Amino acid sequence: MSNRICLFPGSFDPLTLGHVNIIERAVGLFDKLVIGIGTNSSKQAMFPLEQRKEWIRNVFINEPKVEVQSYEGLTIDFCRKLNARYILRGIRYVSDFEYERAIADMNHSLAPELETIFLTSSALHATISSTLVRDVIRNHGDARQFLPTEVRY
């Protein structure tokens, strides 16, 4: 029997309640859910990689099926390294779907053995994005209502 390993890729800069909602709902679907923090040398993250990994580990400390790793390069190559057959993506709005569908189609063309699974955000978390949370933080606002309690900046 093959393991159902899934990669949930993203920057998680920072991990939001929207991410947590998707992860909590997806964890029961797979034997292992790897939260993959993609690193891009041309982009500067607000929070250091090790800090983001620590936050994710702390949020999911009691969930043995969730682990966090970082990677560079193509997501499909990282999936192959993990023996993951699934990629998880969260969808908030129709515009997210169009963008994510294009990526899923490209990934499937390059790696037909991979399936992308889309989960829609709960209504409560649909407006939360890391980009907006970073803007609140950058402008000295209080973003705590959008973040797990373990994420402190």
- Catalytic residue at 125? no
Pairwise CA distance, residues 111 & 117, whole Å: 15
β-sheet with 32-39: strand ranges across: 66-72, 32-39, 5-10, 86-91, 115-120
Pairwise CA distance, residues 91 & 43, whole Å: 23
- Catalytic residue at 152? no
- Catalytic residue at 92? yes
- Catalytic residue at 53? no
Helix axes 94-110, 75-82, angle to 10 degrees: 60
- Among residues 2, 41, 42, 43, the one annotated as catalytic is 43
Q: Write down the residue that tokens 């294009």 correspond to.
A: 102
- Among residues 92, 101, 108, 129, the one annotated as catalytic is 92
The catalytic site residues sit at 19, 43, 92, 130
